[in-house]
Amino acid sequence: MLLIRCKELIVIQVKFMKKKYLPSLLNKDLWQKRSKVSENWFENLRNSFCKEFLKLENLYNDEKGYKKVLFRKKKWYKDDTSDFGGGVSSILKGNLFEKVGVNISTVTGTFPDDFKSKIKGANEDPRFYATGISLVAHMQSPFIPAAHFNSRFIITKNAWYGGGCDLTPTYDINIIRKNFHKNLKKFCDTYNPKYYEIYSEMCKNYFFLKHRNEERGIGGIFFDYLQDNWEKDFKFVKGSGLFFLNYLKYIISSRSSKPWTENQRKKLLLKRGKYVEFNLLYDKGTTFGLKTGGNIDAILMSMPPKVIWN
Q: How far apart are the C-alpha atoms of 34 and 236, rounded to whole Å?
A: 15
Query: Do strands 97-110 and 214-215 pair parallel, antiparallel, or not at all (unpaired)?
Result: unpaired
Cβ 176 vs Cβ 143: under 8 Å? no
Q: How far apart are the C-alpha atoms of 105 and 154, rounded to whole Å?
A: 12
Q: How far apart are the C-alpha atoms of 34 and 51, rounded to whole Å?
A: 26
Of 303, 298, 304, whose CA–CA distance to 103 is shortest?
298
Of 134, 50, 32, whose CA–CA distance to 97 is shortest?
50
148 catalytic residue (yes or no): yes
Total residues found in the chain within this entry? 310
CB atoms within 10 A of CB 27: 10
Cβ 240 vs Cβ 151: under 8 Å? yes
* Cα 142 to Cα 58, 95, 171, 267, 287, distances in angstroms: 19, 13, 7, 8, 29
Of 58, 68, 149, 91, whose CA–CA distance to 304 is shortest?
91
Cβ 178 vs Cβ 186: under 8 Å? no
Query: Do strands 146-155 and 159-168 pair parallel, antiparallel, or not at all (unpaired)?
Result: antiparallel
Please identify every residue annotated as catalytic: 148
